[in-house]
Structure 1
Amino acid sequence: MLRAMFGEPVREDTGLIASANHSIQQYLALLHTIPFAKRNSQDRRYIIWGNSFLSALDELEQSQYAAIRYSEHISKTYIDDMGAEELIHYRRYLYFYRNAIIRIFAILDKLGHFMNERFRLKTEEVKSRFSYFTVLRNMHQNHLYVELEKQLYDLKESSRKPVDRLRNERNMEIHTINADLLDDLLQAAEAEQLQDERMKAENISERLLDLAVGCEMVFVAVRTTFDYIGKLSESTGRYEA
């Protein structure tokens, strides 16, 4: 869809998004072997959930791609050195970069809620409003679905620093800034201003590297989870945990 903005054809899935989509589609194929008349409300929920993951991953990849493409037109270090056209590209880069970050954590939280329901983890008894990371902590502390938990935990740890930076940016983008965070931002801004009165553009290359790690974590986490559920369903002959 977004590739049309650059006069390019629709994406052909390759790499991590292709493998994640394949894992979801394999699980959906299992669910569709249940005759329509015999599907219960839970079966239908899982089918809707699976299709929503396909859409969400597509939107994440497109946002990342658009951010990268617009970043290619930005060469100036300082915003006030940018001409009108470069400034438009910079604003568009920021839009899709921030959109991608928000989608990363939206998909992870969607995955956490899906896992919580699919495996009956009862994370809501630990914390009423929980995230993907709360679900992993619940699995880790209570030794639930150990094989899957270890893979997802190792993935989280290997991506920790870049994903933490992305999460901080997400929080600044969508949450009210609390007093401590506001003080930190003001101190950082004041320290930078002592060195330079001019406004710098973001360090685009560093942020896109963090974004790449975040997207990779999402694609791999989704693929790993759906592969595990598919194998579990096939081995037990059941579609429930």
Structure 2
Amino acid sequence: MIRKLLGEPPRVNKGILLDAMNSMSDMLKLLERQIQASGDPTHAFRKADILTRGLMSSLDELEQSHHAAAFFRTKVKAGYAEDMSVNEKSDYALYVFFYKDGFVRVFSILDKLGNWLNDLYDLKTGEYKPHYSYFTVLRQFRYLKMHPAMTDDLNDIKDSYTDAINRLRKRRNTEIHYMNTEMQDDLWQRHRALYGKIQLEDLDHHLEDLKQGLEMVNRSLTTAFRYTVKQWENREARP
């Protein structure tokens, strides 16, 4: 959708994005077979199907947000807000919009994945923490000593993106609870320069953090779904 608005051809999934999408598609095929075989009297399989489709849609939207942010970033040439042309200010505003949409979506998808894992593996995380996150679910897996192979892989992925995710989380929390993140950058510049020109935030560094967040999401989804599909197929620990 975004690429059509930008005058670009449709995206062709590849790399880790393709891996993530394929792993979720494989899960949908298994769920469909289970629904056909059992009739799904409790609707548990249908719920898992809906949640999986929701994750696929959310991943698609996150990738589009990152792509659009990167597209409009290339159009911002000035280093100071006062030096921007009218068109460049518009492009900068679009960059900010898609960048912020992207980092909010990173944590939204992770929490949806946490909810999916909590339901399928019956972790009952909500019994001791009603408002839990993806990271809480990972800790619950370890506390219960369940599925250590998957848990270790997911934690390794999380740890490899710690710095970028922490920066994104801080900006997400600022955006939601305090002030617009780009205005916080402006405030810092005002503090440093007083009445001088406001230098733009480091757009490339911020965009790289978002790229890292997208990578973490892709790898986490692939790991969780591949493991679950394998477990299901082997009948060792059906969710």
Aligned to 2:101: 99
Could you tell me the percent identity over the aligned residues? 34
> Which residue of structure 1 aligns with residue 11 of structure 2?
11
**Does residue 219 in structure 1 map to residue 221 in structure 2?**
no
Q: What is the alpha-carbon distance in structure 1 between the residues aligned to residue 144 and residue 5 of structure 2? A: 48
Q: Does 1:121 align with 2:123?
A: yes
In 2, the alpha carbon distance for the partners of 1:39 and 1:140 equals 30
Contiguous gaps of at least 5 residues in structure 1: 178-183
Equivalences for residues 1-241 of structure 1 within 5 A = 1-34=1-34, 35=36, 38-40=39-41, 41-176=43-178, 188=188, 191-194=191-194, 197-236=196-235, 240-241=238-239
1:81-138 per-position Cα deviation (integer Å, ceiling 9, x unaligned) = 0000011000000000000001100000000011111111111123110000111122
CA distance in 2, matches of 1:190, 1:76: 18
- Supply the distance in 1 between the matched residues of 2:9 and 2:187 (Cα, whole angstroms): 46
Q: Which amino acid in 2 is paired with 1:236?
A: R
Q: What TM-score results when the alignment is normalised by the length of structure 1?
A: 0.90
State the distance in 1 between where 2:87 and 2:185 align.
Answer: 29
Cα distance in 2, alignment partners of residues 121 and 12 from structure 1? 36
Alpha-carbon shift at residue 193 of structure 1 (Å): 3.1
Work out the number of aligned pairs and report it.
233
Secondary structure of the residue aligned to 2:66 is helix
Whichever residue aligns with residue 70 of structure 2, its letter is I
Alignment-mate amino acid for residue 108 of structure 2:
A
Separation of aligned partners in 2, 1:33 and 1:159 = 36
1:29 positional shift: 0.5
| Matched letter for residue 28 of structure 1 | L
Provide the C-alpha distance between the structure 1 equivalents of 2:208 and 2:111, rounded to a whole number of angstroms.
22
Separation of aligned partners in 2, 1:213 and 1:37: 41
Q: Which moved more, 1:58-67 or 1:31-40?
A: 31-40
Q: How far has the Cα of 1:145 moved from its partner?
A: 1.4
CA pair 68-143 structure 1, distance change in 2 beyond 3 A: same
Matched residue, 1:180: none
For 2:38 and 2:212, locate their aligned partners in 1 and report how far apart those are by CA, in whole Å: 43
In 2: Cα distance, 1:18 partner to 1:48 partner: 20
AA aligned opposite 1:223: T
Offset at 1:188?
Answer: 4.5
Aligned residue type for 1:22: N
Decide whether aligned partners of structure 1 residues 170 and 69 sit closer, same or farther in structure 2, where only a CA change above 3 A counts: same
1:186 Cα deviation from its structure 2 partner = 10
Alpha-carbon RMSD: 2.0
Contact residue 190 and residue 198 of structure 2 kept, 8 A: no
